[in-house]
Amino acid sequence: MAGAVATLREGIALLTQTLSEVLLVDLGLPDGNGIDLLRFARKVGGDTQCLVITLFGDEASVISAIKAGARGYLLKDDAAADIRNAIHQLLQGGSPLSPSIARYLLRGLAEEPPCVGATPLPKLSEREIEILRHVVKGFTFPEIGSLLGITAHTVTTHARRIYRKLEVRSRAEAVFEALSRGLIDVD
């Protein structure tokens, strides 16, 4: 079902009535924060893929949205064609990010050394690390499978193991955790 709403309350009501494959969320809603809608969608939305499209590109907004369940993050000044392509990418297992958001995340993570002694680093297999490196570069699961000579289903199985080991729920969160913990390097 397709629908458009303008408030947090209406968004929650719509998600309560029907599950959507894709949810486009603005963070600046007149009666609340889109982060709350992302959390609600994650709680009740099953496999709903959430894409943030907003004016807010600050660190707190980006990190909060990813932790709340956003699978992608675009700024409203991106061209309409980029948003349309981002939705297709999202549905194919990608995590679309505005170039400025991706640059910001990568720069911020590269400047922070991994925390020593905080929590033990999860043990990822060589194949899982290889898949994560391709995910960081923006490849979809079918593309990664083709590059590695394995099926997209096998890539998905590895991704589930990566998510479990990193204790995350999305590709964007996995990239964030892997980079921030120093499990993979940015080439």
Query: In the prediction, which pLDDT does 37 show?
Result: 92
What is the C-alpha to C-alpha distance for residues 77 and 74, in angstroms, rounded to an integer? 8
Higher pLDDT, residue 143 or 106 = 143
Residues 6+ apart with CB under 8 A from 111: none
Q: d(Cα 25, Cα 3) in Å, to the nearest integer?
A: 12
Q: Confidence class of residue 45 from pLDDT cuts 50, 70 and 90?
A: low
- Average pLDDT (34-55) is 87
Mean pLDDT of all residues in 156-176: 85
Question: How far is residue 117 CA from its own chain's centroid?
Answer: 27
pLDDT at 32: 87
Q: How far apart are CA 17 and CA 20, in angstroms?
A: 10
For residue range 61-111, what is the model confidence (pLDDT) as tens digits? 888 898 889 999 988 877 666 788 888 988 888 889 887 787 777 776 665
| Residue 25 host element (H or E) | strand 22-25
β pairing state of 70-75 and 49-54: parallel
Is the predicted pLDDT of residue 114 greater than 60, yes or no?
no
pLDDT at 99 (0 to 100) = 79
Backbone angles phi, psi at 34, to 5 degrees: -60, -20
Question: Residue 171's pLDDT band (boundaries 50, 70, 90)?
Answer: confident
Can you list the domains of the chain with their CATH numbers?
8-103 (3.40.50.2300), 112-180 (1.10.10.10)
Q: How far is residue 44's CA from residue 40's CA, in Å, rounded to a whole number?
A: 6
